[in-house]
Structure 1
């Protein structure tokens, strides 16, 4: 009968010269600590080491931006534009919702005013 797969794998992995195999997902070292303390997941996402130029000219002129810096700047600008658009849409939606609430209250008040009013003794009781 054929040997179980587990047994075969163990036999192959125990042979001398065979490297051990890890099947766990790789996580950047310290990412949990960075996130808990309000930093980026990795040190290469944002911060002075990635955002500032690596060098400058001897006379003090700044270096031209690198490709990665230009790309990150354009991504941030695009994100800022998107935030502004979504914020304005949210403001318009809130104004529209407020208008609908006012209209609903006005309709309810108008309906209430059109109802029959008490007369005679009931009117005198309600005034007291």
Structure 2
């Protein structure tokens, strides 16, 4: 047990180990604000080769195709939700305008003084 504690301290690990995030580069990647695995980044998102005449290469691997489809679906969902938010904001503004108009009409329809104003100013 003494050897294990010494080993943990020399490696810079806290004792006891609490989870699997410490293994497979977890601490290294977390300290450098990197993703936990190869989920995104230039090595996974960009193609493996390029053409000299400027053409864009097609997706080459199954993983790239899956990521493109997943990103497309996520983009569709984001666009749909943002349009719903815009519509809800428009409805809210319209409702607030109707409330202010109703309050204005109500305040104008109240009883008004009769007679000349000079009588009341004395």
Q: Which one of the candidate residues 85, 89, 96 is aligned to 1:90?
A: 85
Q: Which one of the candidate residues 14, 37, 44 is aligned to 2:38?
A: 44
The Cα shift of 1:63 comes to: 6.4
Normalising by structure 2, we get a TM-score of 0.66
In 1, Cα distance between the equivalents of 2:75 and 2:30? 27
- The residue that corresponds to 2:32 in the other structure is 34
In 2, Cα distance between the equivalents of 1:74 and 1:118? 71
Change in CA separation of 1:46 and 1:126 when aligned onto 2, cut-off 3 Å? farther
Contact 2:30 2:36 in 1 (8 A): no
The Cα shift of 1:45 comes to: 1.4
Determine whether 1:114 maps to 2:112: no
Change in CA separation of 1:126 and 1:30 when aligned onto 2, cut-off 3 Å? farther
The Cα shift of 1:120 comes to: 3.1
Determine whether 1:80 maps to 2:75: yes
In 1, Cα distance between the equivalents of 2:78 and 2:120? 55
Unaligned runs of 5+ in 2: 1-15
- The residue that corresponds to 1:4 in the other structure is none
Change in CA separation of 1:65 and 1:79 when aligned onto 2, cut-off 3 Å? same
Normalising by structure 1, we get a TM-score of 0.63
Larger Rg: 1
- CA RMSD, 1 decimal: 3.0
- Equivalent pairs counted in the alignment come to 100
